[in-house]
Amino acid sequence: MGKILIIDDDVQVCETIESLVARTGHNSVSSYNLTDGLAKVKKDDFDLVFLDISLPDGNGLDYLQQVKDSAGNPEIIILTGKGDADGAELAIQGGAWDFLVKPSSVKQITLSMSRALEFHKERQNKAQCVALNLDNIVGKSAEIKSCYDLVAHASGSDANVLLNGETGTGKELFAQTIHENSKRSVKNFVVVDCASLTETLVESTLFGHKRGSFTGAQADRKGLIPLADKGTLFLDEVGEMPLAVQKSFLRVLQERTYRPVGENREFKSDFRLIAATNRDLEAMVSRGDFRQDLLYRIQTIHIHLPPLRDREGDIRELTSYHLARLSAQYGVPPKVANSDFYEVLENYDWPGNVRQLFNIVEQAFVAAGVGNTIYAMHLSDNLRIKMAKSNLQKSGSYNLKNVQTEPRFVSSPDSELVSEKKDSSGLNKNSIFEDTVSAVLTEELPPLKVFKKMAEKKYLEELLLRHQGDIVSILKISGLSRSHFYALLKKYEIND
């Protein structure tokens, strides 16, 4: 018997779903606002939650992860009063089971509910049978924890997996974790660097060759695909794979057969595929740079790894973990980081993500010598300068040289001239960003983290204003992926 929570401010909707739940032999309870609903999921374990988007005290999508991470780890069916394609995308990306538009038919609600409860029961049974080993993955932020369920799902199946994320976010580590938690863990984990594959050597590298099959083939060579038999084949940076190579690999992926160069027979390789990329493959498909049929094949399970700057609270945990590992590696007493060291790290954007963080922590570890405490001064001058400049730019501070060449956001006799310069460059005279920065910098300054969030929100609003919702232009200028862009809109409650 399932336990169901309905969070919706429409009493009639709650009563209708309660009636359907009772008829199917399950128990239910209703909340008419987010505050009461969140209190209930903290107090009790639910198997399923119906969650409305528009509630009197907030947007349901903003609390989706919090509800999903509650004690019962319930499945979630999102309810909305209007068709919202972007909202559906965000809900599903956030781990919702389904997205229903009100009013939905009794049949549709019942079917979605029964399937969600069946899936939840199966997932709970699997969780009891399999203990996921996440020893090498560090982080407790909601952003990284949302990936763990997908890792568990991928580990329990043989489905193809696509790991997507910026450089340095740990794609290979997650791929290895999936392999080590799978039934193939005792076999090989074979890495293919797609960026190094050339059309002339791809067949030899992937499939192997026979002695004498071409000039320089002095002996038989086993390819990477046969090495991955009964194990896992990891395609690193699959977005760099040349189109001609994509065509060759697609057939191998479909048939799981290959033919070594110089051989007249085909062989089978029972490998499990995991691919990774830092590129937007859907955008590459639209440009003709990546095969759509190959993309369909490799992303049966899709896991997006968040950048370090979005993983709130994880920098300290990652740093402590790496310091302990370095102490063991160098055979020295444990070192701890001072608060000023953490302050510098937490106010940096980390374009190189976790990989960059670990490299910098190791540099500081070495610079600390025999000392037991690591301070900000142990960071290299070059890095401290970069971080200082980055933080100054984020906080809207300019040096004297910049003041002479950049628009000024304070009241001055030159304000009319500044406005004319902005108009001539095609920018909006009453820019959202200009007004916000001007207001903030003429009042008591907020903490840097608060300012960063304010600036990010206004940047998104300015993008939408200037480009009138043209998503293609917005993604090109901002450098964001489509899913990341919509996730930020949801985060800051911006209507596009």
Confidence grade of residue 289 (pLDDT, cut at 50, 70, 90): very high
Q: Could you tell me the residue range of the domain that residue 271 belongs to?
A: 142-306
For 311, the token pair is: 């993983």
156 with 295, same domain: the answer is: yes
| pLDDT digit string, tens, across residues 310-348 | 888 899 999 999 999 999 999 999 999 998 898 888 888
**More reliable by pLDDT, 318 or 262:** 318
Phi then psi dihedrals of residue 146, to 5 deg: -65, -20
Domain-terminating residue out of 306, 341, 365: 306
Q: Helix, strand or coil for residue 29? A: strand
State what percent of residues in the chain have pLDDT above 90. Answer: 33
382 with 486, same domain: the answer is: no
110 with 178, same domain: the answer is: no
Average predicted confidence (pLDDT) for the chain: 82
97 with 163, same domain: the answer is: no
Residue 9: inside a domain: yes
Confidence grade of residue 229 (pLDDT, cut at 50, 70, 90): very high
Residue 178: inside a domain: yes
What average pLDDT score do residues 175-187 get? 94
pLDDT at residue 419, as a whole number: 37
Element (H, E) at 48: strand 48-52
CATH number of the domain bearing residue 232: 3.40.50.300
pLDDT at residue 398, as a whole number: 39
For 320, the token pair is: 């402590």
What average pLDDT score do residues 249-260 get? 88
CATH number of the domain bearing residue 56: 3.40.50.2300
159 with 191, same domain: the answer is: yes
| pLDDT digit string, tens, across residues 60-111 | 888 888 888 787 888 999 888 765 666 677 777 777 888 888 888 888 888 9
| pLDDT digit string, tens, across residues 360-386 | 999 999 999 988 899 989 988 877 777
pLDDT at 287 over 60: yes
pLDDT at residue 461, as a whole number: 84
> CB–CB of 273/296 below 8 Å?
no
For residues 370 and 377, give the distance between their C-alpha atoms in angstroms, rounded to a whole number: 15
Question: Which residue in 278, 272, 273, 274 sits closest to 304, CA to CA?
Answer: 278
pLDDT at residue 82, as a whole number: 65
Total number of domains constituting the chain? 4
Residue 340: inside a domain: yes
Residue 133: inside a domain: no
pLDDT at residue 152, as a whole number: 87
191 with 286, same domain: the answer is: yes
Residue 403: inside a domain: no
> CB–CB of 49/74 below 8 Å?
yes
pLDDT at residue 179, as a whole number: 96
Longest dimension (CA), the chain: 83
Residue 402: inside a domain: no
**More reliable by pLDDT, 88 or 278:** 278
387 with 428, same domain: the answer is: no
pLDDT at residue 228, as a whole number: 94
Residue whose pair of structure tokens reads 């990936």 in the numeric block: 147
Q: Quote the pTM value.
A: 0.62
| pLDDT digit string, tens, across residues 388-434 | 776 666 555 434 334 333 333 333 333 333 333 333 334 444 455 55
196 with 171, same domain: the answer is: yes
pLDDT at residue 405, as a whole number: 36
Residue 401: inside a domain: no
Residue 363: inside a domain: yes
pLDDT at 259 over 80: yes
Highest mean pLDDT among 50-54, 225-229, 435-439: 225-229
Domain-terminating residue out of 68, 96, 128: 128
Cis peptide before 226 (omega within 30 of 0): no
Q: Is 479 exposed, middle or buried (0-12, 13-18, 19+ CB in 10 A)?
A: exposed
Q: What is the 3-state secondary structure (H, E, C) of 320-368?
A: HHHHHHHHHHHCCCCCEECHHHHHHHHCCCCCCHHHHHHHHHHHHHHHC
73 with 165, same domain: the answer is: no
207 with 59, same domain: the answer is: no
pLDDT at residue 130, as a whole number: 52
157 with 86, same domain: the answer is: no
| pLDDT digit string, tens, across residues 15-39 | 999 999 988 889 999 999 999 999 9
pLDDT at residue 484, as a whole number: 76
Give the distance, in angstroms, between the CA of residue 193 and the centroid of all CA atoms in the same chain: 22
pLDDT at residue 330, as a whole number: 92
CATH number of the domain bearing residue 315: 1.10.8.60
Domain-terminating residue out of 128, 161, 181: 128
pLDDT at residue 84, as a whole number: 61
The residues, ordered by sequence, that sit 6+ positions from 369 with a Cβ below 8 Å of its Cβ are none
11 with 58, same domain: the answer is: yes
Confidence grade of residue 131 (pLDDT, cut at 50, 70, 90): low
pLDDT at 43 over 90: no
